[in-house]
Amino acid sequence: MKFYNYSAGPSALFPEVVEQIKHELGNWQNTHSSVFEISHRGPEFMKFAKEMENTFRELLQVPDDYAVLFLQGGGRGAFDAVPLNLPLKHKRALYLTSGHWSRQPALEAQKYLEVKTAELVDKNFQQTKIDWTEESKDCDYVHFTSNETVEGIENFNPPKVAPGVLVVADMSSDILSRPINVNDYDVIYAGAQKNIGCSGVTVYVVRKSLLGHASKICPAILNWETYHNSDSLFNTPATFSWYTCGLTFKYLKDTFKDLANLEQVNIKKASKLYAYLDSEDFYQNKVPQNLRSRMNISFNTPNEELDAKFVQEAKEAGLYYLKGHKVIGGLRASTYNAIPEEAVDQLISFMKVFADKYK
Ligand code: PMP
């Protein structure tokens, strides 16, 4: 039996990456030590770190006038880092909400500035609009979450904002799953533990002209300029997590060449699962076509009891971690980059058997 891990995060790494980690454990690059047992300032690690940044830049096509930074603190750390680092003239920001993870940064930002919120996706899972010029006029920035990990809603396009207003995106759960135009954003951030590597690293892509405006209460470990000036080695980084990120970036480049190719694989996987969900009344998915996430596919059986049975029986069939997030319940299959098409096929086969058994 084959085992697949559909965890929403931390989530599966590519098996080839895990094999390489196993192989190199204990003697990384002839250091006779594991990668997490040596100095982050030694020549081997510094070289690895530079290559990691360069490969990430290449994959996401990051222009030279953007800094790529690796911090700690996760996505939640970024909820503070954004208002603490950005220049604030109006001391006001617009947070567009579309689910659980876009509401959290709006709550946190209230510590630092006036927060306006507006629904990007309403309670009936309909996108309200993409042009926020009027509402953002008196704001310093507009924040949105490109992929709602809990509900399975993907906001593929950045919002249109008033001139001079910055666009900030939390891409924690869909970064590197498709090409984007970095120039459409001023700040992008993402926790590593879904599409990138192990938890412990948060990647920031920041327009360089925005560095140097941090509030004086901004802690040094969240200060983007400090990290930019130290090649992200201001304090001791989570070296093992960096290592997993570097290996994943290299694997993505060597295997898929670019994100356009990888996107095709992700479209194929998600389309298969949605097509099956649409064809079987036993399962429900409420997200409309244009907002369906390719990374987190949330669905329900007819009732909670069957949802629980589904999780249990799926596990017996080798399909792990399909329980939905506690805030909405139900079921969720996370189909990040490292999940192969065969895993989706095996899930659909199981879903067919389960539906026939209980409907
Ligand atoms: N943003 C999104 C979209 C997320 O899915 C998560 C975590 N699942 C977070 C932020 C918070 O990340 P962290 O746990 O790294 O703070």
> Is 170 touching ligand 1 by the criterion CB < 6 Å?
yes
Note whether 100 and 327 are within 8 A (CB): yes
In this prediction, residue 283 carries a pLDDT of 98
Q: Is 235 annotated as a binding residue?
A: yes
The widest CA-to-CA distance across the chain, in whole angstroms, is 62
Q: Is 186 annotated as a binding residue?
A: no
> Is 191 touching ligand 1 by the criterion CB < 6 Å?
yes
**For the chain, percent of residues with pLDDT exceeding 70:** 100
Domain ranges of the chain: 15-256, 257-358
> What confidence category does residue 24 fall into, taking pLDDT thresholds of 50, 70 and 90?
very high
Distance 150 CA to ligand 1 centre (A): 10
> Is 172 touching ligand 1 by the criterion CB < 6 Å?
yes
What is the rounded CA–CA span in Å between residue 92 and residue 138?
7
> Is 145 touching ligand 1 by the criterion CB < 6 Å?
yes
Is there a catalytic annotation at residue 170? yes
In this prediction, residue 273 carries a pLDDT of 98
Atom of ligand 1 nearest to the CA of 8: 8
Residue with CA closest to ligand 1 atom 11: 75
Q: Give the tens place of pLDDT for each residue, 151-204.
A: 999 999 999 999 999 999 999 999 999 999 999 999 999 999 999 999 999 999
Structure ipTM: 0.99
Distance 349 CA to ligand 1 centre (A): 30
Distance 35 CA to ligand 1 centre (A): 26
In this prediction, residue 79 carries a pLDDT of 98
Mean pLDDT of the 58-77 span: 98
Query: If we measure between CA atoms, which residue out of 103, 78, 209 comes closest to residue 153?
Result: 103
Is there a catalytic annotation at residue 359? no
Mean pLDDT of the 47-64 span: 98
pTM greater than 0.95: yes
Exactly one of 28, 101, 132, 242 is catalytic; name it: 101
Note whether 94 and 65 are within 8 A (CB): no
> What confidence category does residue 271 fall into, taking pLDDT thresholds of 50, 70 and 90?
very high
Residue with CA closest to ligand 1 atom 10: 75
> What confidence category does residue 264 fall into, taking pLDDT thresholds of 50, 70 and 90?
very high
> Is 102 touching ligand 1 by the criterion CB < 6 Å?
no
State the number of CA atoms in the 13 A half-sphere of 262 facing the CB.
26
Q: Give the tens place of pLDDT for each residue, 222-256.
A: 999 999 999 999 999 999 999 999 999 999 999 99
In this prediction, residue 127 carries a pLDDT of 85
Q: Is 236 annotated as a binding residue?
A: yes
Average pLDDT in the chain: 97
What is the rounded CA–CA span in Å between residue 256 and residue 99?
31
Q: Give the tens place of pLDDT for each residue, 100-152.
A: 999 999 999 999 999 999 999 988 888 888 899 999 999 999 999 999 999 99
> What confidence category does residue 91 fall into, taking pLDDT thresholds of 50, 70 and 90?
very high
> What confidence category does residue 343 fall into, taking pLDDT thresholds of 50, 70 and 90?
very high
Q: Is 75 annotated as a binding residue?
A: yes
What is the rounded CA–CA span in Å between residue 197 and residue 284?
31
Mean pLDDT of the 85-112 span: 98
Distance 27 CA to ligand 1 centre (A): 33
In this prediction, residue 175 carries a pLDDT of 98
- Exposure string of 254-275, with b = 16+ CB inside 10 Å and e = fewer, is eebeebeebbebbeebbebbbe
> What confidence category does residue 41 fall into, taking pLDDT thresholds of 50, 70 and 90?
very high
Mean pLDDT of the 313-339 span: 97
Fold of 257-358: Aspartate Aminotransferase, domain 1 (3.90.1150)
> What confidence category does residue 219 fall into, taking pLDDT thresholds of 50, 70 and 90?
very high
- Return the CATH number of the domain spanning residue range 15-256: 3.40.640.10
Is there a catalytic annotation at residue 101? yes
In this prediction, residue 126 carries a pLDDT of 86
Distance 357 CA to ligand 1 centre (A): 36
> What confidence category does residue 284 fall into, taking pLDDT thresholds of 50, 70 and 90?
very high
In this prediction, residue 115 carries a pLDDT of 98
